[in-house]
Structure 1
Amino acid sequence: MERDDKCPFDPPPGLREGRPLRRMVYPDGHVGWLATGHAVVRAVLSDSRFSSRHELIHEPIAGMEGPGGERDAAPIGDMTGIDPPEHTRFRQLLVGKFTVRRMRLLTQRMEEIARDQLDVMAEHGAPADLWTLFAQPVPALMLCELLGVPLDDLDTFQRHTQTALTQDGRPEEVGMAFRSLYGYMRKLVAAKRAEPTDDLLSDLTETDLTDAELAGISVLLLVAGLDTTASVIGLGTFALLRNPDQLAAVRDDPSRIDDVVEELLRYTSVAPRAVRAALEDVELDGQVIKAGESVTVSIEAADRDPERFPDPNKIDVFRQASGHLAFGHGIHQCLGSQLARMELRAAFPALLERFPSLRLAVPAEEVPLRANMSVFGVRELPVVW
């Protein structure tokens, strides 16, 4: 479903029409379900009777299946596509690495990275593309430093990540991008085992994870962490620039940044969907989802549910947006949610303090969007100040 060009931040028209749980025909002919209501989506994501295993789910986007249309199992280390107990083992090893306390310890370094990148943007001068000069590099630099990935390889990672997340890309190109990322990470894991350094990947080499599992986990963290936070920075800034009263509120009162970040996460919902497969018959919202049926949960629709968020299509940085589902919910809730929040809390105040007169350099309708990507966002964000 395509978005309305006049309202690019809103879910596609018609997505929220009808019942919050309704039938949907998938591209491969499977008749499954679409969940759009906040309560229903939350229920599916938290219910162990719904599986995340890749080989069980039907894809809602054509061309995302394996060669010949088969559904492959998740790659080794990809926690998003497995269930307990395998998922539990990975999660327990990683959850302590992304605690609120640990992220607070990284805040000062994140603020330094944001300031340094704003220096680059200022040196470039206006007009400038905020996406390539700020939104994209800031979380990438933080994540590479956290994991222990050499910065010289950052451009390669970003190129492969963009290919891997393209929904309409050729399967062989997407597969090659993932294989390249895995191959690189296998070599880096071996190097960290031989000579550990002060980073997350070196810490994980001291666990019982195999090299293949470590490489898979690292690829997942990179692909999930490089693009999502960058997209919230880019799309969130675009949203604020289109709503000057909201931008002024953020700029003039940085102490409210926690609420601002939660609202921008809700409003942008850059990771718009997830898919689950029923392991048994489940009654939900007065209907029965049969065993084997896939349920696509629309995060973007759930976070615009008027029963949960009044006037949901309006960005309101004074709103209490806690309870949004931008990071998912349940056992698969994003491991890096605290890292992302920390990065966003540093990025937005730094940007608006440095460039208080920031504004779009082109008409809003000319800002190119990434509608064909698994992570929604801007392709460019031309700005002046």
Structure 2
Amino acid sequence: MATETTAVTRELIWRRVMDELGFEHARVRRGPEGAELSGLLLVAEQGAPLRAEYSIVCDSAWRTRRVSVTQSWRGEHRALTLEHDGQGHWWKDGQVAQELEGCTDVDLGLTPSTNALPINRLRLAEGARAEIRAAWVRFPELEVVPARQGYTRTGPARYRYEGLESDFNAMLDVDADGVPIDYADLWRRIAEGPAAPVTAKQAFVEALVSPGPSSELGDAAATFGWLVGGWEGTIQDHDADGSVRESPGEWWFHWVLDGRALQDVLIVPSRRAPARPGPGANKRYGTTVRTFDRAAGQWQITWVSPTGGAINRLAGGRDGDRLVLLGEHHGKPIRWSFSDIGPDRFTWLGEVQEADGQWKRQSRFDMRRIP
């Protein structure tokens, strides 16, 4: 296969010719540091639109290292992350995936592009054959199972693929990069060309945002991981005179920094809210970064509010059926806690401790998940 000293990025489109019910638009990036396959799949699955986006990062030897998949189907969003150490050990959504032990490549069941992974990694001589164990991702279940597969290089640019547990066989014609052109009578490439450069915004988002938690977090990821996504609701600020100011707000959470931290963006009033007369709740446009301190066994959070000029640091974790975080603001102890936690709701309370030791409410957020 071709080698490069500088990165080369291409875009390709395949059409699913076996039933005319799908397309894939993919990007292939190759460079001395490794390769990345990413793409968008649009198919009709059981009569319903299925949209899946994926990214597969490989090292310089084309060993699969990180996989992320997001899927929308029948009104439900689902996500999958896989990590591989290059030696056959896998993690799924941050947890050890013992069932995938010994797998060398990932095989996304809906796309022809992932056949390029073992083809480039094996670099078979013409006439040679190899058997592999792949982490096969089934759609729409997003189930991952090991699958024995065989590859035989039957010509300069032709391979025979074998599903050794299903007796499925298919011939693949590939280009100089080992990327399929025709996949039997299943998929056919219909367009290709150089990819436009990634914008600064795209590059920043890709560098910051992670598909899921890092395996380093282990079980601790579940403490705040349920927050990933968008929330909206009512934000109240309680004043010293007993009055309550109220505004709608929105709150967005996602894993960042290679899945080692959870970050949010809080916006009050909500960007979709109409202008209202009166004071309303305090304006907020800030962010919190949550990281886990393994030595202390607790989460550390830092809240930064450009609108209010505050930088608060708190620490804590689960306390019964609540999540409680403690810190200090202007010399007074503060407590922020999640309570009434459900799949689609939570309450976030902000309190300050007075001189008599009593906790006094300052803010209350009643949030519901944005579908």
Q: Same fold (TM over 0.5)?
A: no
Would you tell me which structure has more helix in proportion to its own residues?
1
Higher relative contact order (CA 8 A, sep 6+): 1
What is the TM-score when the length of structure 2 is the normalising length?
Answer: 0.23
Would you tell me which structure has more strand in proportion to its own residues?
2
Report the structure number with the largest CA radius of gyration: 2
What is the TM-score when the length of structure 1 is the normalising length?
Answer: 0.22
